[in-house]
Amino acid sequence: MEVLGLGLFEIAIAVLSFYCIKILRYNDGLPWNWPLVGMVPYMIKKFMVQDPHASGSADLAQAGGTFLLKGPWFANMDMLFTTHPDDVRYILNEKYEIFNKGSEFKVIFDVLGDGIFNADGHSWRSQRRHAQGLFNHHRFRHYLMRTSREKIEKGLLGIMDHVSEEGYVVDMQDVFQRLSFDTTCRFVTGFDPMSLSTEFPEVPFSKAMDDAEEVIFLRHIVPLPLWKLLRWLNIGFERKMREAQKILDDVVYAYVSRKRAELRTEEVESHEKEDEAGVDLLTLYLTEEDMSLELKSDKFARDIVLNHMIAGRDTTSSALTWFLWLVITHPEVKAKIREELQAHIPPNETQTRRLFSEEELSNMTYLHCALSEALRLYPPVPFQHKEATKADILPTGHRVHPNLRVMIPLFSMARMVSVWGKDCSDFKPERWISADGSSKHVPPYKFVSFNAGPRTCLGKNVAYYQLKLVAAALIHNYSFHLVEGHVATPGLSMILYMKHGLKVSVKNRWS
């Protein structure tokens, strides 16, 4: 595994080899809390298996859904994992002011700066209020809908046609990352990096985002003093983070500068034309009159852009990748989705290439439920990270103390029999459909893919629209076949990507 090849980190834990070897050979149950090193050997064991997410979920189920993972002594790395909906509701809603991001969160996620993901208290409330207003702005929503359709029609379907004609094997995870990167960059900044093309150009910015997310994941499992030492020495994975952040900063600051120049030289247009064309998020941030000077600074603009870029690019591409894989491997689900799509197509258009309108998509219950089921099983952000600011007791009776990390493992939560029933591990869109055929309401503390409580994702409806638009276009117009022997397993990152991508062949259904 990559985590075992991190140079200094491997050397640092080599002194624990006796404990590691012993626990790997003799401990097949829950981890032991060893003197001095805590449960570090258990953590190493998890990273040595092919799918640590699934393995960790099994251990958490064996522990009853809640488990305190003890870190090395004096390292402040203890983490309480809980999958109980009552605990989740308590943490994310009833006592969300007690369970904040925490003192170390902003240090671990420092690449995101002062954006909304790192913010707490007054800063978070202020940013959320502004973001909510801008997300609901009719000019922004019009721009987002229009640019999303354009990128799918002129970019994604063009790639699919090309791959189909040439008989290539394509990595759909890479395609989805390019699609969501271009789309997100365009509706956030107004500029299209054009990474989605038949040439599949190298995208340093996108690669830098992947590297930064990998390092953020590693910072959760490496003691803070150790990775800070790596950062000070500029070696190991911290060197990768520094290089990634430089690329991210250079590109985003260039976008901000370019946008300011554009706004200074742009001729004043009529409101009618503005409404027709729509406007990107960065323009609204920089031009809205009720924005403070701080919110309009280059530094904050950089943080805003990067936070929204990660939120839009990574979550959407991850969700689409796992959804397509699930549909390919469950032909009965694919057949039901196609049946629903056909029901919304005029009889003279059933055998032709087409995109679906927002109105058509809003009436597709089964597609919506299939996407929700995919998000349940493979949440793009597989865990929530909170920290208690004072001592408290969770509804399940577990005590928390100040600075204790409280982790909500969404991936594991989906696989808890106590939460979702005996068929919890099955891909079953029907679990989301009520007796009258409508979409069933599932409490957000049970389905946490869009967060819950005051921090519920502002872009939830936008995300569903984009997912439906892409999913419907692909399933209606193309057939996909997995490459023989392809293994779909999660990688190690703060985003739930497939470790080996999603390699498929593509056939145009109407060619």
What are the C-alpha distances in Å from 257 to residues 72, 246, 286, 287, 309? 46, 16, 11, 14, 17
Spell out the residues 6+ positions from residue 28 whose beta carbon is closer than 8 angstroms to its own.
none
Question: Distance (Å, rounded) from C-alpha 53 to C-alpha 62?
Answer: 14
What are the C-alpha distances in Å from 456 to residues 288, 448, 490? 24, 9, 25
Q: State the amino acid at position 221 in one-letter form.
A: I
Query: Looking at residue 482, what DSSP letter applies?
Result: E
Q: Write b or e for each residue in 393-407: b if 16 or more Cβ atoms lie within 10 A of its Cβ, otherwise e.
A: ebeeebebeeebbbb
Supply 234's token pair.
Answer: 């500029």
Q: Is residue 369 part of an annotated ligand binding site?
A: no
Query: What 3-state DSSP class applies to 387?
Result: strand
Task: Give the number of C-alpha atoms closer than 13 A to the C-alpha of residue 16, restricted to the C-beta side.
Answer: 21
Question: Distance (Å, rounded) from C-alpha 153 to C-alpha 139?
Answer: 21
Quickly count: other Cβ atoms within 10 Å of residue 225's Cβ: 11
Query: What 3-state DSSP class applies to 483?
Result: coil
Task: Using CB atoms within 10 Å of the CB of residue 220, give its burial: 0 to 12 exposed, 13 to 18 middle, 19+ buried.
Answer: middle
Phi then psi dihedrals of residue 467, to 5 deg: -65, -45
DSSP per-residue letters across 69-109 = E--STTS---EEEE--HHHHHIIIIITTTTEES-TTHHHHT
Cβ 466 vs Cβ 316: under 8 Å: yes
Question: Distance (Å, rounded) from C-alpha 38 to C-alpha 373?
Answer: 36
Question: Distance (Å, rounded) from C-alpha 312 to C-alpha 495?
Answer: 12
Give the residue carrying structure tokens 């290539």: 168
Terminal alpha carbon distance of the chain: 43
Q: Could you tell me which residues are annotated as the binding site for heme?
A: 457
Q: Could you tell me which residues are annotated as the binding site?
A: 457
